[in-house]
Amino acid sequence: MTGPEPTEVPGRGGEWFVPRWGPLKLRTFLGLLFLPYTGMVLAFALIGSVLAERVHYDRLAAIVLIYFFGLGVAAHALDALGSGGVKPWGTVFSKVQLWILTVLSLALAYGIALFYMLSVVPWLWVVAVLEGFFVFAYNLELFAGRFHTDRWFAVSWGTLPVLAGYLMQTNRLSLPALLLATAMGLFSLIEIKASRPYKELKRRPFRDRAEQDLMERYEALLKCVSMGVIALAVGLLLWRITG
C-alpha cells in the first residue's frame, strides 16, 4: 500500500516565496520558479531596455519572455536536477518531467531570440551563447562546479540580462549600459550572498533564538533587494511610457 499524498511542499517549501494554498503541484512549481528572484532577472532585462534612447516595446516584451523561459523556468528546473543528489523540491516532479520542462522552455526562449537575432539584433547572439553556457554550467555544476560561484551568478543573472535588454533595443553597447549592468550585477551578488546562508538556516531546526533572528534578517534583506529591484524596473518603465 502507498501512503497518503503529501499536502505540503517538500524540501524548500517553507521559504517565503512559496504559496501556502492551492494544489501541491502548482505550489511546488511556483516555488521552483523562485518568482522574486526570477522577477529580479526580468527587471534587469527591462532596465537595460528602457535605457535605450528609443524603446521598441515588442522587443522589450520579447526579452522579458526570453529570460522568463530561459532562466526563470529552464535554469531553475536544471537547478533542481543538478543539486548534488539533493531534491530541493522533493519528488513532486520527476527527473523526466524536469528535463521536459527544461527543453521546452529553452526551445521557447531561443525560438523568440532567434527571430530577433536573424532580423534586427544580430549582436544578441553573444549574450545568447553566454547565457546558454551558464544555464547548464552553473545549474548542473559542470566543470567541477567552477562556474557555480557567486561571481558567475552575478554575471549571468545580473550583468548579462541588462546588456541583453539594451542590445535588444539598440544592437550595440554603450558605457552607460555597461556601468548599469555592473551595478545590477552587484545587486545580484547581494542577493546570492544573502540567499546561501538563509537557505542553510532555513533547512534545519534553529539552535537558539539568535539563529532565528539571523534567518529573519536574511529573509528581510532578500525581500527588500528583490522587491526593490522589481519596483525600480516598473517605475522606470512607467516613466518611459508616460514621459
Q: What is the mean pLDDT of each run of 10 residues along the chain (243 residues)?
A: 54 79 88 94 98 96 98 94 70 90 97 96 97 95 92 97 98 96 96 92 83 93 96 96 86
Give me the CATH code for the 36-233 domain, please.
Answer: 1.10.357
Grid coordinates representing 96? Answer: 523526466
pLDDT of residue 105: 97
Mean pLDDT of the chain: 91
Q: What are the boundaries of each domain within the chain?
A: 36-233
pLDDT at 204: 78
Q: What is the pLDDT of residue 2?
A: 47
Please provide the DSSP assignment of 95-141 as one string: HHHHHHHHHHHHHHHHHHHHHHHHHT-TTHHHHHHHHHHHHHHHHTT
How far apart, in Å, do the first and last CA atoms of the chain sit? 64
CA distance 237 to 243: 10
Instruction: Give the side-chain half-sphere CA count within 13 A for 149.
Output: 8
**pLDDT tens across 40-50, in order?**
999 999 999 99
- Look at residue 19 in the predicted model and tell me its pLDDT: 86
